[in-house]
Amino acid sequence: MNDVGTHTFTTAHEDTLPTIEKKLHDLLLKVESTEFYRGLMSPEANPALLASTMKWVYKSIHSYQPHVTEATFTAVGRMPKHDEQLIKDMILQQVEEVEHADMALRDFLRLGGTEAEASTPPSPPCMAVAAMCRMLGEHQHPACYLGFMYIFEALTPIMSSRVQMLMDRSRYNAAAREFIDLHATEDIRHTDIISNVIRRLVAIEPGAANAVLHGFDCFAQVYPIPVWQSAFDIAKLEASLA
């Protein structure tokens, strides 16, 4: 292993999954140390603050998800074409994501968001997510997309299951759980798909292992903490004005 900047590069493809799993663990620890995480997980947390935070998280997903999908399809299209099943697995995972922006919008509206609010420009953190995914998917090694997709797929079920517990003990609108309830289970399967794709790709494609880790490191700079903190900040402001 050797370090270049903030990125750890591997010389053995067998190291890629253990390395990326360790990176995800470290990222989760950073999430758990944030203001928004501690604020929402506190037993004294205002239930209205959770609902408002989730509303703006859903707005964020609605803003950036179409760009993530387009960047991912572009990355898959740039992949080497020597393994048909590998490409099929990449496409299958992403096809199952295409309606999630609309799903997030539905929950945003169910929590009191308006169509006018939904049509406002993406926040700066959401712009950063969209731009990073497009840069990695369209202009860097195509395997970089697996790094940012691993964060999406592996972190989401962990956080979704924790949010479900908060929803269960609060007066959260049960009708606005479509996105969370789906992702608490679906993304476990998607994580397995992405892990298998990474394992197979790095074994046959020179440079793919380094690219996957590079994609993870780049994306961790813009997601999830800036996006979720921004949603929490807006929710706190709403609470202060209520």
Residues 107 and 2: their CA atoms lie apart, in Å, by 44
pLDDT of res. 242: 56
Backbone phi and psi for residue 81, each to the nearest 5 degrees, phi listed first: -105, 30
Going by C-alpha positions, the residue among 230, 218, 195, 229 that lies closest to residue 20 is 195
pLDDT of res. 3: 38
SS3 content of the chain, % helix, strand, coil (to 5): 75, 0, 20
pLDDT of res. 236: 94
Burial track 221-233 (b if 16+ CB lie within 10 A, e otherwise): ebbbbbbbbbbbe
Backbone phi and psi for residue 9, each to the nearest 5 degrees, phi listed first: -105, 145
Burial of residue 70 (CB within 10 Å: 0-12, 13-18, 19+) is: middle
Check: CB of residue 139 under 8 Å from CB of residue 8. no
Cβ-Cβ contacts under 8 Å for 72 (sequence gap 6 or more) = 94, 97, 133, 137, 145, 149
pLDDT of res. 2: 36
Per-residue pLDDT of the chain (242 residues; tens, 9 = 90+): 333 334 444 444 679 999 999 999 999 999 999 999 999 999 888 999 999 999 999 999 999 999 999 999 999 999 988 889 999 999 988 888 889 999 999 999 999 999 999 999 999 999 999 999 999 999 999 999 999 999 999 999 999 999 999 999 888 999 999 999 999 988 788 999 999 999 999 999 989 999 999 999 999 999 999 999 999 999 999 987 65
Helix (H, G, I), strand (E, B) or coil at 50: helix
Going by C-alpha positions, the residue among 136, 128, 131, 127 that lies closest to residue 78 is 136
For the chain, domains (ranges, CATH) are 22-40+47-241 (1.20.910.10)
Half-sphere exposure of 116 (CA within 13 A, CB side): 0
pLDDT of res. 1: 35
pLDDT of res. 96: 80
The C-alpha angle 231, 38, 161, rounded to 5 degrees, equals 75
